[in-house]
Amino acid sequence: MNVDTTNAGASREAGTAWWRGATIYQIYPRSFMDSNGDGIGDLKGIAQRLDHIAALGVDAIWISPFYTSPMADFGYDIADYCDVDPIFGNLHDFDELVARARELGLRVIVDQVYAHTSELHPWFVDSRSARDSAYSDWYVWADPKPDGSPPTNWQSVFGGPAWCWDARRGQYYLHNFLKQQPQLNVHNPHVQDALLAVARFWLERGVSGFRIDALNFTMHDPLLRDNPPAPDMGEVRTRPFDFQLQSYNQSHPDIPRFIERLQALIASYPDTFSLAEVGGRNALAEMQAFTDGPARLDSAYGFDFLYAPRLTPALVARALAAWNGPEVSGWPSWAFENHDAPRALSRWCAQEGDRDAFARLKAMLFFALRGNLILFQGEELGLLQDEVPFELLQDPEAIANWPLTLSRDGVRTPLPWRAQDEHGGFTKGAPWLPLGPQNLARSVDRQEADPNSQLRFTAELLTIRKRSPALVHGACEVLLADEARLVLRRTWGGEVVTALYNFTGEVQPWPKGVSAAGIWLARANIAPREGTPEGLPPYAAIWIQTGET
């Protein structure tokens, strides 16, 4: 297995917040486990399979939206923030899930979507009914230009203008995503109060915090100024959205004020955690602003790795450098995969024969990063991007931009639990998305039985990380980042963990000045040797511990 857990170090330092350095397992509920045979995963299915997650050794689960929704964007278009959609179960099922998670030592984090609702939400139904309705100003409405065209040139993420004409009000409403997702006017203090009430509802039900979707889209420019064009960087642009700088339809400077109100509520509950999703061209500055000091959110994550076509030492070094230094007060979170981004192994390792080795390298890099780690379901199995034919696509973005946009459906296919089952043990019915044979062969049951599997390797790496204060809490220094090799040094107190990586399929020289002496906590694709090896084999990775913990 290439892992030694006998000398992995001491337990975490007492008194440190549980989430600092935690590993969080993301569950996409439609595709995790179906308990009733309708082909769609549900809350009871999650509860039935929590043992699998607990056995990995993660600290918490994050569940993507399961709220009442017409499912235009599969749950991110919410019609009732405080209830469960019937396809996923009911509030009793959610309470039982939380209770079961607690029994297993897992905390529960849920998604919150504050930028928009469904067009079927009662707030919007009232808002569109008349200009003087009770909820009239809860969404972003604007009159047309004199020629009848939309108020601004803003474009939606999913393609086409970000404005939709509504004859009932004789105005346009803003939607930064689908037209079925009208934009909330979070400038309005009554809207803020309502969203805080939603957060309180779930905190009272026992959740340990929130992942906040598209947070930098929560406020727009009230002056409705046009976005400027984006410079042509020579990349293929598949959406009108890519032709603009999003200067005015997102990232308003008043967003941190709302964040401070939200964080004050979250922090009033013990042992809670807040995590922002932040994308866009200015993501780093916004992530750091949103997490600047104890009055703001605990952490944020962006898209450094989620859409990167290649994994390189330079990419890792840049991402880590942005969160190091005395002037940086925020704490980062990292994700290599999620429900919106293609599987990392498919993006980063084109050679099928190299993928098992690369998966181990990737895992050893991920679990050595300074920050919180978000592990997407199936990543522990080394799943690949499934190819979903056009006629079976469900993702509205993929359908609108086919074939130039990689489908989100390919990462959302069901989790394979049993290899000998037609649908991987996910459902007794027809699954909402097809599961490909390449991932069926990577099923949980097969990997549980194989001591050398990616699943077993992942669990053992997490055991080591939890026992190493340097890997969980320590400072991180990049000692080397050339075209092929990366060397990180994690330090906490007297413990030092040096992490070495060869990102290529060729043997690379052992880094000068880096000793192989010490405890090899974990290794991948390299045999143990006396003294310092002459080179790093293809896709080799090593964690070397020195000093006292």
Active site residues: 213, 286
Which contiguous run of DSSP H or E holds residue 371? Answer: none
Longest dimension (CA), the chain: 79
Which residue type does 488 have?
A: L
Residue 409 CA to residue 390 CA, distance in Å, equals 10
Which residue type does 32 have?
A: F
Which contiguous run of DSSP H or E holds residue 163? Answer: strand 163-166
What DSSP string describes 32-61?
Answer: T--SSSSSS--HHHHHHTHHHHHHHT-SEE
Residue 133 CA to residue 528 CA, distance in Å, equals 72
Which residue type does 182 have?
A: P
Among 267, 265, 327, 337, CA closest to 301: 337
Which residue type does 91 have?
A: L
Among 212, 164, 221, 406, CA closest to 308: 406
Does residue 403 have a cis bond before it (omega within 30 degrees)? yes
Q: Are 535 and 509 in contact (CB under 8 A)?
A: yes
Q: What SS3 state is found at 547?
A: strand
What's the DSSP call for residue 230?
P
Chain centroid to Cα 312, Å, comes to 20
The CB-based long-range contact list for 319-322 (8 Å cut-off, 24+ gap) reads 320/369, 320/370, 320/476, 320/478, 320/488, 321/478, 322/284
288-293-296-302 Cα dihedral, nearest 10 degrees: 20
Q: Are 225 and 251 in contact (CB under 8 A)?
A: no
Q: Where do the H-state alpha helices sit in 75-174?
A: 91-103, 122-127
What's the DSSP call for residue 165?
E
**525 in the Ramachandran plot: left (φ > 0), alpha (ψ -120 to 50) or beta?**
left
